[in-house]
Structure 1
Amino acid sequence: MRKLSGLYENCRLCPKACGTDRLHGQHGICGMPGGVVAASAVLHKGEEPPLIGEKGSGAVFFSGCTLGCPFCQNEQISIDSMGADITDNELAAVFLALEAEGASNINLVTATQFTPSVIAAVGEARAKGLQIPIMWNSSGYETNRTVKLLSETIDIWLPDIKTLDPMVSERLFGARDYPAAARASIKMMASQLEKRGGELIEDNVMKRGMIVRHLVMPGELDSSRAVLEWYAENLIDRAMLSLMVQYTPVNESGRQIAGPDYIMQDNEYNQLLEWLDEFGIEEGFLQSPEAASKEWIPDFSRLNPFPEKYSKPVWHWKFK
């Protein structure tokens, strides 16, 4: 426990390696101190089918972010840091509460900046009887060291691979090193999964496995083609692909959006279908064009950030 918490000092949990002493109150480039800040925990039905089971994925939404994409749908928490402090003991209790409500897994949404605390909280929850899988839902912007730290804790890996073009990553979210970091960390996640025995699905619910997400950006299809080709060459037999087209140019705060100002067009969607066929990608998940909707933009100031049909609140930062 002491060794893990020490990782907040001279912090290098993410590739930006800011070196901030978060252990003693400073805030890192992620915007967070050396202790968990979270916004919401819900039974969430908006994930891929093997992840939601009967009642939903037990999603815990953490505050702050190591990447900070300016077009993030969760900008209230990822950029504006909405949320409240929560101890490791309290976080473990949230995990257990989600399981008691029927969650199919514990879905750790953007938790890289709190890796030491998450490992400790999962360990405590396991000691108190937690049985469901733990899922790492991240941007893919990880260090190999952090992935190794998580290897005994995580059962399901759910990383994004946003782009493999350094020019695109620098322009859209100011991280030219994103492609190199994502390639390395995602390959390592796949290797860690194989060491644990590979994918395991029971009764159509994933217990162990890996799904790689790619959000297609309108106007950036060349970038998406490169991602699909890389996936086909490196991961097609090791992880499922989830191709997402839900990009919505909504910015409630009035902040200037660096991404495209329109949703995906029909001709772009049809091009994606052709590429999936070209690269032999037959299994996985593909959103329909209708997924690009303001309905999916959460509001973390509400007890239930999502539409009622998709989500049931279990914990909220305002009512902890």
Structure 2
Amino acid sequence: MATSSPSTTLPTDAAARLACCRECPRRCGANRTAGQRGVCGASDQVEVGRIALHFWEEPPISGTDGSGTVFFGHCSLGCVYCQNGRLAAGEAGKPYAIDQLADGFLRLQGQGALNINMVTASHYGPQVREALRRARKRGLHLPVVWNTSGYETVEAVRANEGAVDVYLADFKYARAQTAHAFSAAADYPSVALAAIDAMVEAVGAPAFDSYHGQRRMVRGVLVRHLLLPGHEDESFEALRLLYGRFGDGVLYSLMNQYTPVISRRAAEGRGNAAEMLARYPELGRAADEGAYQRLLDFADSLGMDDYFWQEGQAADESFIPEFE
């Protein structure tokens, strides 16, 4: 894979965005074109952990043929319980040149993917948009899904206009104190709501087509909320905020797949996992099935009667992809 800096192959305006980085709400100002790494851990060199079909997204994203998923290295949010913690921490992933990234998109299309699904790509926004532009010139025609933590600036969302068709956005926290404790981002609730506003403005109401006999989402916003163990009341608050603000103008996905990988990372002595687990022991277990059912019942009581939900055992490390 390529190791030379890609900034010299980016359009001037795109390279300038990385020279004093403001790509995420942390606005760290790192000169990533000079090799500095931002708070996210990334330089201007794109790092990717996996490019492959992925079958475990919501039905209109994965269908039966799979979503063409690109898992990017590093992360601007850095949740302490992240199920993809190795990749987010830069412990996995390989460098990709922009043309190699475009090759990957086209390869996924050739494999029958329903879409191209960018997982945690926000800190590589200029490079990804350039790779998409090159891939489109070579025949890429699939819708693009931006799979994000929700911790995005409005400016970054607007920069994606014309490149992104579907936003698959998390809304992780309703409370600043939880966001600060688990992601060092007390501003997360307000930032994420403003970002989702911008996403709705950019791509509009959910729209679907039929692709190889599968119902496929081609426009719109799908907001995910993950039930965290011990935080049932905050999940109620999150749903109340979301439905009060967006109503039926977005789709919703209520998830019960929290996987306590922080316990393994703590046992392995990785990062500050042991310290965080000691401080927040609830993160060492899966969410309670009863709590999840109460969350679904609460969603119904709000009038949110058309949403995606999970059944069976979703909290399992076997669902976590292997990264390069």
Q: TM-score, normalised by structure 1?
A: 0.90
Deviations 1:201-260 (A, max 9, x none): 112111112110111101101111111111211222211000011101123333325452
Q: Which residue number in structure 2 is paired with residue 159 of structure 1?
A: 169
Q: Which residue number in structure 2 is paired with residue 233 of structure 1?
A: 244
CA contact (8 A) 1:44 1:57 kept: yes
Q: Which residue number in structure 2 is paired with residue 65 of structure 1?
A: 75
Alpha-carbon distance in structure 2 between the residues aligned to 1:279 and 1:59? 33
CA contact (8 A) 1:216 1:224 kept: yes
Report 1:1-320 matches (<5 A): 1-194=11-204, 198-203=205-210, 204-251=215-262, 252-253=264-265, 254=268, 255-256=273-274, 257-258=276-277, 260-301=283-324
- Give every structure 1 segment of 4 or more consecutive aligned residues whose post-TM-superposition deviation is greater than 4 Å: none
CA contact (8 A) 2:206 2:251 kept: no
**What SS does the aligned partner of 2:42 have?**
coil
Alpha-carbon distance in structure 1 between the residues aligned to 2:103 and 2:296? 43
**What SS does the aligned partner of 1:236 have?**
helix
Question: What letter corresponds to residue 103 of structure 1 in structure 2?
Answer: A
Flag the 1:170–1:208 CA change in 2: closer, same or farther, 3 A.
same
Q: Which has the higher helix share?
A: 2
CA contact (8 A) 1:76 1:299 kept: no
Q: Offset at 1:289?
A: 4.8
CA contact (8 A) 2:82 2:261 kept: no
Question: What letter corresponds to residue 313 of structure 2 in structure 1?
Answer: E
Q: Offset at 1:56?
A: 0.3
Flag the 1:265–1:54 CA change in 2: closer, same or farther, 3 A.
closer
Structure 1 unmatched ranges of 5 or more = 302-320
Flag the 1:52–1:297 CA change in 2: closer, same or farther, 3 A.
closer
Alpha-carbon distance in structure 1 between the residues aligned to 2:64 and 2:306? 22
Deviating more after overlay: 255-264 vs 76-85:
255-264
Alpha-carbon distance in structure 1 between the residues aligned to 2:199 and 2:28? 23
Q: Offset at 1:296?
A: 1.6
**What SS does the aligned partner of 2:71 have?**
strand
Q: Offset at 1:80?
A: 3.2
Q: TM-score, normalised by structure 2?
A: 0.89
Alpha-carbon distance in structure 1 between the residues aligned to 2:290 and 2:65? 36
Alignment size in residue pairs: 298
Aligned-CA RMSD value: 1.3
**What SS does the aligned partner of 1:217 have?**
coil
Question: What letter corresponds to residue 126 of structure 1 in structure 2?
Answer: R
Q: Which residue number in structure 2 is paired with residue 310 of structure 1?
A: none
